Structure 1
Amino acid sequence: MTKKLCGTNYPASICFIVVNEFCERFSYYGMKAVLTLYFLTYLHWDKDLSTAVYHAFSSLCYFTPILGALIADSWLGKFKTIVYLSIVYVIGHVVKSVGAIPTVGNSSVHIALSMFGLILIAFGTGGIKPCVAAFGGDQFDEEHGSERQKFFSIFYMSINAGSLLSTVITPILRGDVKCFGGDCYALAFGVPAVLMIVALVVFTAGSVLYKRNPPQGNILLEVCNCIGFAIKNRWRRCKYDPQRKHWLDWAEENYSKRLIEEIKMVLRVLVLYIPLPMFWALFDQQGSRWTLQATRMNMAFGDTFVIKPDQMQMLNALLILLFVPIFDLIIYPLVGLCRINITPLRKMATGMIFAALAFGAATLVEVNVVKTVVDPAPARSCLLQVFNLAKANVSLKIPGSDLFPEPIQYLQDPSKYETLPLEASSKELKIQVTFNGKTLECNHTFDEQKAYSLILYPDTTTGIQCEHVDDHIVKNEDGNPLLRFLNTLPEAINLTVGQVNFQLPSSYSMSPNKTVARGEYSNVSCSLQSDQCSDFGLGLLDFGASYTVILMEESGKIVAHKMEDVSANDVHIAWQVPQYVLLTIGEVMFSITGLEFSYSQAPANMKSVLQAGWLLTVAFGNVIVLIVAEGAGLEQWKEFLLFAVLLLAVFIIFSIMAYFYTYVDPDQLDKIYLKDSGKEGNDDDDDDDDNRKKKTDDLHLNKTGKGTRL
């Protein structure tokens, strides 16, 4: 007899299942939240490759549930499938965490471990996805249907709770905890690994309480066999057999008429699924393109609170919990009062519009974000800025160029980089420098599509000298500022900015750019080669900026002059909120409604087929992003606009398909079957048909809850 929770009809075993799901979803979404930045800042991939691999992983996570369902229903059963694939899941997390430890091998080893870990995670999370909710539903007796529905509400609440908490916590572990001299990705991946171990331990701890149904065969496999037989039979016999009303009727020799009619009903819904991947192509970019957009925005809320770019994803889970009851209790009833027939397919089509609007909003944000980005030099040109340290105005004359028509003032902060034409891939230029009535010629070689700083400084012999150094004009990929120092002192100096150390040789030496945390720096500690020096301040080092700090001795103490090479991010992260709001509204109307519609339009034992079809739309949506990210080569705002336009086009196609779709009343399925088959009474196949109808696949228990995250 099933053990019950005290005073209720709820099986005690569901406590273990709910906790398991919370921990598993925490581990999955926590790992995924920091994944794009891991590719970008740790593996040093470019944005397009990072996006492509992120969506390839997401796609694999939604292809593998079919494999998990086949294993559970045809071979191991749900309990053993969950346990064995959870072990694979844990191993994947551990491998992924080890791959994020810098001391473990070289970059090739890190990439190999990361990819192997992600593949194992994809098989683990995808494999158990169709099993856990259904296994929870198995614990209830048939007479406790209302309790089972309440369990699913609790179950999906645990999914959202795990998602929300993980997308808040793991970015903090990544950015605020420093290890191995940088962001602690090993910890950010390690904590989800621990949570997955906890999930496995908790699930197995309840094994003595579980009610386990033996494998009863997979209806999806049966459907595929039936369709395959119909196609093959039609190909072989169409020349000498009379034509049949429907191509599936060619399977009547081996399969019951009821099964064939049920497959026809399912195919009508699956045809509607064809345009749906485009919605998911937009929706799943929250963790890739939108996170990358956030790294180029100002993420400070006042002086005390700073959000991280990968934390913005938590808005979706938070807004889902807020919007679902608002739509169910307020929006939909109000629309109904206006006598507007809000059918499920109309809701889904409207959800597409909101998702397209979200990407329209993302396009507007992106157009403003890129205004602080320094465009790279075109071919056969380079970028040049000038630092004048010569304590008097200096005039520059560059052959073949009219740059710098006005004298450059002492310690003038260049407002922007100037484009210097080279007329070749590399060119030596003779730059004339006029200073205090004297003219000096400097010879420098510049390469195309690079950025340089020309440093003019005093010299006791010639009066002035000039040197040029390579500049880094690309904004820091994690959103933090970049900092470098130019030491004009006659001896070496050692500096500590926050937790970052700079060691500079003497006499006009330039340090490399280093990442520092965004913030106010009022006390930078320093020490000279011969003695200690007084501390000094740098002020605010802001998001996305690149700074050159010139160290000079004035009145017997060291003074820092801060120059801004690349402008700080001036678009606030709050401007991303509208696009998250619009996309979440689209998800509420599209995803939740779509699942409810699908389950209402198919026989009970075909719901797992629709579940597989629905998950495949998510998988193919991620494939679309992968193709566009690697193949289109568009500017980011143009790519956002392209996705918005494509979804609007798909909206039109889907609306036309929905217009011609005839809804099926699930209570009338038997009558439809009798009418289509021409039966008035029992048939020889009735017994087999009734058995098949009763053999409901367990996956139909995986009904959408309010606020579902797949």
Structure 2
Amino acid sequence: MGDDLKKEKGIKKGFAKVFGSESSPTKKVPKLCGTNYPLSILFIVVNEFCERFSYYGMKAVLTLYFLNYLHWDENLSTTVYHAFSGLCYFTPIIGALIADVWLGKFNTIFWLSILYVIGHVVKSVGAIPTIGSTELHVALSMVGLIAIAFGTGGIKPCVSAFGGDQFEEHHVKERAKFFSIFYLSINAGSLISTLVTPVLRGGVQCFGTDCYALAFGVPAALMFLALIVFVSGSGMYKKCPPEGNVLSQVFKCIGFALSNRWRYRGKQHPKREHWLDWATEKYPKKIITEVKMVTRVLFLYIPLPMFWALFDQQGSRWTLQATRMDTKLGGFVAQPDQIQVMNPLMILILIPVFDLGIYPLLKCCKINFKPIPKMAVGMIVAALAFVVATVVEIQINKTIPPVAKDKECYVQVMNFADTELTLNIKNQEFVVGSLKESDFEDPSYQKIELDGNDLHINIGLPSGSCEAHLNERSNYTLLIYNLNGALTCEQFTDSKTKPSNGRAAVRFINMLNTSVQVVAGEQNETLSGNITASSYMEQKRGIPEVKAIIDGEEYKFDIGLLNFGAAYTVILTERNPTTKTIEFKKTEDVEANSFHVAWQIPQYILLSAGEVMFSVTGLEFSYSQAPPSMKSVLQAGWLLTVAFGNVIVLIVAQAGSLEQWAEFILFAALLIAVSIIFSIMGYFYVTVNPDDLKEEDESAGELEKKPLPVNFYEMNIEEKKTKI
């Protein structure tokens, strides 16, 4: 045992030599000129800004990376996103244990920041298309995300506390001001990164597609800068030694109380006011009182994960919702993942609005808005945000293409006959205008009812018929044209979904009777001389540069605007060798996103207002209700509520049985129910002031000062008298 202690001391001395002493809390640190602020806090604040930039920047584009780069579906993308978010809030417990028991705060931040940087680099490398197979990309992405989760989660409970350690005990106002600046740096990093990284992703093309490698690489560089800045201030820091595992002490006290109570079940024993009083045989009264206070607050935490289950969907479900909306803001086209910037922006606006306006106004009206009711109202406001999101989702659904169900399909007809046609499909008559007219209307999809075995269907034409092969749950285009004086048709399978990421898609049908290479932006495809169609080519919103190459000659043509979320078909009908132009007809197969992303602003305002009332108040309440030695325990408990909230979302997402609007309503209803439960629990909670805790009186009798032996209640009366 002695050798082990010597080894442990030797290890700590080794770390102290390399990274500075962790046992010098009284060390004088340089101050900012003319103030009581330690110069070292500048390094800590800049470090936090860079770290939060790297974390939120990477996370902003993560869902679209899963969806568009790894080609996962929306439910799997949401599941992995929230699994990662949950892990980021489980790992702070590990970081706190390492700091409190072994390395101290400085060394914990240093080593886990290195792991953090490695995770970012691996994640960025995994987004380079040329390095290998999809399986390798997935493996590198998962390894990178796990390393990032342990890095960001591990340092989370250490950085702010390490900053607080730099102040003298009597500089209370300066320390409070530091925490405000620290919180501002968090939101500033989040705000800027959420604006910048989506531009790096969608505004820069690399390897012929969105540049996810750059969007992940810049956060990696910022995290490396955060590490350099933090280490640069090493000589100025006041480094407190590890304080011991308070969390372990709490669990041991609770465990002993429960086991001791179980030991005396069925036996005669004096009654005890509280179940934790069964730990008095081993633990001092002060410790037991503090654990009682902590467990009462932790009990209040039980309903809280439901709030975070809604809050963290900004980066998953709400971002996916934005991909199906019109994101043109005046002359600026926003990326769908940029809309998340609304949350940190609204937080910076709403905190002073609440602190300087709403709360004082309520106080003037003699309304005592206590912390627990404030948190409950915050939950309800967040639930209202999801009600608004539901309305937005229903409006968006009106612009999506029809989705065929069992025993039905959808067919649109492109009529290149000289006149209007009346078609008969499965005893249903359709009148279809000619696309040769200058003012033609886009053909619309018609629902066709199918019998189970009806795959080959004769379509009645004015002069004969043609055969189509229709499968249920599919969308088709029938192109009707003249061939040798008679009408015939060609059949094409259409996309059933909107283009991802708010982009547009276009395909080309060749009617030129010669082979054509079509080039649209960075994509190209060769179409044979028969009537053939290209695959859908995804393009950014805008007017792409399009050209056709025929027999080595280049023909340019302008197909006009390709709008958000729309899918188009461009039919090449004639070419003019003299002017080197192509005549074409353009139809809109899938309607463009017409519901504007500005309609998401109310839900972001409501959710941010809910966060101010719930999160800021909850942290303040937890801090006020925790005894000084147990504040870290309640901080760990608070972070765990965020982790469990993400677990709730990934469970619902993995079930995947509800339509999106119905899922939003479910979450809103659950949060309102939870707010009612929380209010009832809060009604019976008695607020305490930890500062009123007193040490046991030094003049107390031996019985009160010294804990009784574990087997005290098994002694007979004479033995007890002797012992006392």
Q: What amino acid maps onto 2:563 in structure 1?
A: D
Q: Deviations over 1:397-426 (max 9, x none)?
A: 22x34152x244335554432222222266
Q: Percentage identity across aligned positions?
A: 59
Residues 214-257 of structure 1 show CA distances to partners (whole Å, capped at 9, x for unaligned) of 11202111101111111112112222251422111111111111
Partner of 1:652: 676
Q: What is the aligned partner in structure 1 of residue 599 from structure 2?
A: 575
CA distance in 2, matches of 1:378, 1:134: 57
Structure-2 change in CA distance of 1:426 and 1:140 (3 Å): farther
* Amino acid in the other structure paired with 1:409: S
Partner of 2:14: none
**Greater Cα shift, 96-105 or 387-396:** 387-396
Write the mapping of 1:303-452 to structure 2, written as runs, cut at 5 A.
Answer: 304-398=331-425, 400-404=426-430, 406-411=431-436, 413-424=441-452, 427-434=455-462, 438-439=463-464, 441-452=465-476
SS of the counterpart of 1:79?
Answer: helix
CA offset digits 1:644-690 (Å, max 9, x no partner): 111111111111111222111333333xx87xxxx79546699999x
3-state SS of 1:442 partner = strand
Amino acid at match of 1:91: I
Q: Residue 429 of structure 1 aligns to a residue in which SS?
A: strand
**2:595 counterpart letter in structure 1:** V
Aligned residue for 1:110? 137
2:23 maps to 1:23: no
**Partner in structure 2 of residue 562 of structure 1:** 586
Residues 89, 683 of structure 1: alpha-carbon distance in 2 compared, 3 angstrom cutoff: farther
- Classify 1:417/1:99 alpha carbon distance in 2 versus 1 (closer, same or farther; 3 Å): same
The aligned residue for residue 458 of structure 1 is 482
2:614 and 2:554 map into 1 onto residues whose CA distance is: 65
User: How far apart in 2 are the matches of 1:553 and 1:285?
Assistant: 50
Match of residue 546 from structure 1: 567
Q: Is the 8 A contact 1:473 1:546 kept in 2?
A: no
After TM superposition, give the deviation of residue 536 of structure 1 in Å: 2.3
The amino acid that maps onto 1:476 is P
* Conserved? CA contact 2:570–2:586, under 8 Å: yes
Kept after mapping to 1: 8 A contact 2:516/2:527: yes
Say which of 498, 505, 509 aligns to 1:482.
Answer: 505
Aligned residue type for 2:435: Y
How big is the shift at 1:144?
2.2
* Amino acid in the other structure paired with 1:463: A
The match for 1:708 is none
3-state DSSP of counterpart to 1:376: coil
User: Is residue 590 of structure 1 aligned with residue 575 of structure 2?
Assistant: no
Q: 1:666 to 1:579 in 2, by over 3 A?
A: same
Taking the aligned partners of 1:511 and 1:173, their CA distance within structure 2 comes to 30
Cα shift readout 1:189-234 (whole Å, capped 9, x = no counterpart): 1110111111111111221222111112021111011111111121
Change (3 A) 1:688 1:94: farther
Alignment match, 1:606: 630
Cα displacement (A) at 1:498 = 3.6
Aligned position for 2:124: 97
3-state SS of the aligned residue for 1:646? helix
**Whole-Å separation in 2 of the counterparts to 1:618 and 1:659:** 23
Write the distance in 2 (CA, Å) between the matches of 1:111 and 1:145. Answer: 48
CA RMSD of superposed structures (Å): 2.0
Deviations 1:566-606 (A, max 9, x none): 10111000000000000110000110001101111121111
Partners of 1:168 and 1:450 in 2: CA distance = 38
- Pick from 627, 634, 642: which aligns with 1:618? 642
**Which stretch of structure 1 is more off in the superposition, 366-375 or 406-415?**
406-415
Alpha-carbon distance, 1:287 to partner: 0.4
Q: Distance in 2 between matches of 1:506 and 1:388?
A: 20
Q: Secondary structure at the match of 2:91?
A: helix
User: Is the 8 Å Cα contact of residues 389 and 456 (structure 1) preserved in structure 2?
Assistant: yes
CA contact (8 A) 1:537 1:560 kept: no
Q: What do residues 276-301 of structure 1 show as CA deviations (whole Å, max 9, x unaligned)?
A: 11111111100000000000000002
Q: What one-letter code is carried by the residue in structure 2 that aligns with 1:147?
A: E
- Range 546-555 or range 310-319, more displaced: 546-555
Deviations 1:464-486 (A, max 9, x none): 22111111120112111111111
1:491 Cα deviation after fit: 2.1
Deviations 1:333-382 (A, max 9, x none): 11111111110111111111110110011011011001011232111222
Q: Which amino acid aligns with 2:524?
A: N
Tell me the equivalent position of 2:547: 525
Displacement after TM superposition at 1:459 (Å): 0.9
Give the equivalent residue in structure 2 for 1:699.
none
With structure 1 as the length reference, what TM-score do the two structures score? Answer: 0.92
Q: Any idea what SS the aligned residue of 1:103 has?
A: helix
Aligned equivalents of 1:190, 1:560: Cα separation in 2: 42
Following the alignment from structure 1 to structure 2, what is the Cα–Cα distance between the partners of residues 688 and 349? 43
Over 3 Å counting, the alpha-carbon distance change for 1:261 and 1:357 in structure 2 is same
User: Could you tell me whether the CA contact under 8 Å between 1:226 and 1:251 is conserved in 2?
Assistant: yes
Shift in alpha-carbon separation, 1:591–1:539, aligned structure 2, 3 A: same
Could you give the per-residue CA deviations for residues 259-282 of structure 1, whole angstroms, max 9, x where no partner exists?
A: 111111111111111111111111
Deviates more, 1:553-562 or 1:541-550: 553-562
Residues 507-566 of structure 1: CA distance to partner in whole angstroms, max 9, x if unpaired? 322110011110135x63333225332x32222211011000111227774222110101
SS at 2:267's partner residue?
Answer: coil
Aligned-partner SS, 2:693: helix
CA displacement 1:44-78 (0-9 Å, x = unmatched): 11111111111111001000001100010001111
Equivalent residue number for residue 32 of structure 1: 59
What is the TM-score of this pair, normalised by structure 2? 0.90
Separation of aligned partners in 2, 1:688 and 1:543: 75
Corresponding residue SS for 1:558: strand
Letter in 1 for 2:169: E
Shift of residue 328 of structure 1? 0.6
The runs of 5 or more residues in structure 2 that have no matched partner are 1-27, 708-724
- Structure 1 pair 187/381, CA: closer, same or farther in 2 (3 Å)? same
Aligned equivalents of 1:11 and 1:62: distance in 2?
Answer: 30
Judging changes above 3 Å, is the alpha-carbon distance between structure 1 residues 425 and 236 closer, same or farther for their aligned structure 2 residues? farther
Q: 1:184 to 1:241 in 2, by over 3 A?
A: farther
- The whole-number CA distance in structure 1 between the counterparts of 2:260 and 2:488 is 87
State how many pairs are aligned: 673
The question of whether the paired residues in 2 share the 8 Å contact of 1:425 and 1:447 is answered with no
